[in-house]
């Protein structure tokens, strides 16, 4: 399962600047990075008058724009998608997902704190807080990095998530009714091994590396 790390912080704390540096570091190390930006105010990336805009205005629920370099999906949703669902639907071909925002999620978090903006942490009591990047002196029971130490934070993400995930023999993701269901190691290995064994016996499916099953 592709790991997710959320970067949390108040407005203008420097989240985007730090995240941009870390993305660059991770990419130069050869990793494929996916990002998710949480926008609480809503957004619109489609330009009025463009063909895709005209398709949506005509009533299409989902519009896909595709070229040899990029693919974009513009899709109406009845409710905001959870991080795990976004990862499952759109971020399957990356090594790490880094999200900006989502302080309420249950994913690991790194908080960015700039002293001239605030001295109180948002996620101080959050069990998923794995590190703080700051230019202030704080007392907290987790690693504290300089707010500009992109290399150090990249090391943390690489060692704690990417390499650890790659060491897993079988990675299994179970989504039920668009919700991620956490699996205990025994269940994960049982499901993965059983399904892989059955698929392996089918014609043209010898030694499968990646299997996706969707039942609707």
Residue 5 · residue 164 · CB < 8 Å? no
Dist. CA 103–CA 28, nearest whole Å:
28
DSSP classification of residue 170? -
Dist. CA 18–CA 26, nearest whole Å:
12
Nearest CA to 23 among 158, 143, 136, 134?
Answer: 158
Q: What is the pLDDT of residue 60?
A: 93
Q: What is the pLDDT of residue 171?
A: 75
Q: What is the pLDDT of residue 159?
A: 94
CA dist 1 to 91, 110, 121, 124, 149, Å? 10, 20, 29, 27, 27
CA dist 115 to 147, 183, 196, Å? 10, 40, 51
Dist. CA 94–CA 18, nearest whole Å:
20
Dist. CA 211–CA 199, nearest whole Å:
8
With residue 155 as reference, give the H or E element that holds it: helix 150-157
Domains of the chain: 4-42+79-167 (3.40.50.300), 170-216 (no CATH)
pLDDT tens per residue across span 173-186: 888 887 878 888 88
| β pairing state of 109-113 and 4-8 | parallel
DSSP classification of residue 16? H
17: which residues sit within 8 A by CB, 6+ positions away?
none
Which residues of the chain register pLDDT less than 70? 165-170
pLDDT tens per residue across span 82-100: 888 898 888 988 999 999 9
Residue 104, both tokens:
């309420």
pTM: predicted TM-score of the whole model, two decimal places: 0.80
CB atoms within 10 A of CB 6: 27
């Amino acid at each position: 399962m592709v790991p997710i790390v959320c970067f949390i912080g108040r407005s203008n704390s420097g989240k985007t600047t730090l995240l941009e540096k870390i993305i660059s570091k991770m990419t130069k190390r050869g990793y494929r990075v996916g990002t998710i930006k949480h926008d609480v105010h809503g957004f619109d990336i489609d330009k009025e008058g463009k063909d895709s805009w005209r398709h949506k205005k005509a009533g299409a629920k989902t519009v896909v724009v595709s070229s040899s370099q990029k693919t974009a999906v513009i899709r109406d949703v009845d409710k905001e998608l959870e991080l795990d669902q976004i990862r499952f639907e759109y971020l399957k071909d990356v090594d790490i997902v880094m999200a900006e925002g989502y302080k309420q999620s249950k994913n690991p978090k790194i908080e960015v704190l700039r002293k001239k903006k605030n001295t109180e942490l948002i996620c101080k009591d959050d069990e998923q807080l794995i590190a703080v990047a700051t230019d202030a002196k704080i007392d907290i029971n987790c690693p504290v990095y300089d707010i500009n130490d992109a290399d150090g934070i990249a090391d943390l993400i690489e060692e704690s998530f990417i390499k650890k995930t790659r060491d897993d023999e079988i990675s299994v993701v179970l989504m039920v009714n668009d919700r991620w269901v956490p699996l205990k190691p025994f269940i994960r290995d049982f499901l993965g091994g059983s399904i892989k064994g059955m698929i392996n016996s089918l014609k043209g499916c010898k030694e499968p590396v990646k299997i996706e099953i969707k039942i609707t």
